[in-house]
Structure 1
Amino acid sequence: MRARSIFALVLAGAALGAGVPARADDSTLSVPEARQIEARFSEALRAIDAGQYRAAIDLLDGILADHPDLVRVRLELARALFLTGEDDLRATFQFERVLAGDLPETVRVNVERFIAAIRQRRVWSLNAAVAIVPDSNINSGPTSREVIIEGLPPLELKESVTEKSAVGVQASLGGTYRFTLSDKIRLQVGGSVFEKAFEDSRFDDTIVQWSAGPRYLFDRGDVGASLVGYYRWYGNDPYTLALGGRLDGNYLLTDRLRLDAAAQLRRLDYVTANENDGTAFDTDATLRFAVTPAVLTFATVLFTATDAELKTQSYESRGVTLGTYVDLPAGISVGLSARYAQTDYHGVNPLFREKRRDEDWQESLLLLHREFKLLGATPTFRYTRIDHTSSIDVYEYPRDLFEIGLTRQF
């Protein structure tokens, strides 16, 4: 964005919160508490005016830690994040949440201008995470040690394919960079690395992904087409190579409602299991609704279809996820989600003489502390429960997965 355009936004920011109260109504705050908030808020505004944006962010984060419903405070936090020029992802997230508040029309228009300015100027993004991962079933194996095949005595399964618990470490690093081709068009390249390691290296998992393609920017969203690929190692051995194309985009449908959608088609090549080679089509769409600036809800629908050389490995899967994310006092944020998916395999399984149908129930709890940082990263705790059922018993399994770690976005 041109320098004078950013300067105009900075000037607009001085009046950004006009008409938006800095504190909640008197029924929710005592007089001493309200005065303390107003004093800290005024100090934050002075810090912004003095160009001390990080100091202002710390003050505003501190207020929102205990009072996440204060729209004006969240508004100024978003503006301070914007002015640093280093936290565009978080600034956009906060501006979009502010739109769920009861804003005067002039303020709403200014907020949308800030969001559009971020979309225009954003060049790069980076995210990193590391976690300890206690896992009750690292190989998604059945609890039974035997398998029953009609007409045969019970067969004992190998230890490597049955349920195995362990504690591992996982880390991920990903990012994108955008080259400006015109005012509305960018060339975006991206990549990521994911690594999960256990004491038993047979279950180590490494995935390297890349993408490259043009994106078109709207005032309220963007859409892109890209070439994509990934390479996966499992147990430190080459496992899968995938190449294909992807379409994806996002759009702010209303002040409260955002749509994210994607579709991709890839060719899958398995290094050792050639019968699994084939094509895979995936598509998903998510609607995110801001009930209030402190409460978000979302719903995701997804569909996957694979066409493998071995028909019993081909399948279609349909699923839905519902969830919510809430900022609570004391700096705690809670996320809850539930997912259901049904997968139908093609062809009759020759061993069990029936078509396979799997169902997957998954519930997840996320906890994080918004104010506490460790080396700039946010501590997070996630618990996921998976109950995987199947028309063929040997494919059924339960799983309890914990992730205790740190995450940071730039």
Structure 2
Amino acid sequence: MTMKSLLLGAAAGIAAIGTAQAADLPMTKGEAVEYVKVCSAFGPGFFYIPGSDTCLKIGGEVRAKYYGFGGTGYNRNDNRSAFNTQARIWFDARTETDWGLLRSYFQINADSNKLKGRGGGDGSRNAFSIDKAFIQFGGLTAGYAHTFFGIYDNDYGDTLEASYYNSSQTVNLLAYTFDFGGGLQATLSFEDGRDHRVGSADYYGPVVIGANRYGYSQGGQQIPDVVAQIRWDQAWGGLAVQAAGHQSRSGENYTVDIGTPAVPNVVPVTVRRENKYGYAVGASGVIKIPSIDGWFVVEGQYADGALDYLGAGSTFLAQSDRYVNGLGRIDDGKGWSITAEFGARFTPQWQAVLVGSYIDTSYDNFGVGGGDLGIKEFTISGNLTYTIVKGLKVAGEVAYTHGKIDNGVIGNTGNPRVDGRDNYNNWLAGMRITRTF
């Protein structure tokens, strides 16, 4: 046998052995790969959570802000410029059921250093906050969501940092919306009244009566705020009317200072407890302008003992729903506010917005001698936004605020203001770069 024949025979034998061993191995099938499927039922960006019929959308935004502040009433402790970067992320999960749409929404915001211009000091650094967290099922809304009083702040509110005066709170609520078709809806909402309180503390309105100074103490919540709204949306725009009831309960005591401003001596004095009910009413209107892809919206409201619904917390000076008047009795603050916005998208890249807003609040018989305290403020602002590429925008804004105080007092003294702060003028200018994904 030649060497060639020997090699060929060995190779054939090895091949035969390999074939026999392969025949003895079990046959296996490749594992199935479950790919993420696009969910087109609720618009772009949704996908099916693997193994479920729930559609999820995850989105986010980064805002870099740079602002300068100016005007009267500043001192060396106040910030005249401020930087802030804010990151936002949200999760929107939706499922179609036999009983209607089941939705849950959650958004969290994180600020590197919150803007704080007029108040002085630093803003909150590395602050995390829940922006929204709610469940919707059919007409039910439950959780931490925007108040159902008004439509402007939630649907428009297109300023960057400039103030405007209307109901703008995110609150804990339980609401149901009845849909009558044709764009007509009615909502009844029970909202946490603590989220609708006005004032930096539960103590406001100290006045001097004789040798003593008195202040109002807020009690605990007994019943929630009740908000009702009727809304009609059409292709040309829409209309809405809304009303709210707000309970205020006095605390266990007034606080009475029987000392002097320099040497206070605050002591509690038991008084008759009171439950009072404030209210607010408002109306909104929207007109769409298709020729310039624009809109005009106006919203106004009146409140008595429920000043949060006016946007009173946005003003320069702290205010409160209730106070102790110059006669030592508990009284309600009252007032009205209005906001109007005109906006247009002149091209796919350019958007311009102009906003004007005014608030007028009064506290009857506030000071010693029966003087009525009045606080009025208006702000006008404009901003221009340019879309560089999809998802990236740069915007600039300027704003001017003027305020007037009638019969104001200095701190807790009850004395008329003589420090030149009966009128104030402030301005804001800045820019914001936004990346949305």
Q: Provide TM-score, normalisation by structure 2.
A: 0.47
Flag the structure with larger Rg. 2
Bigger fraction of residues in strand: 2
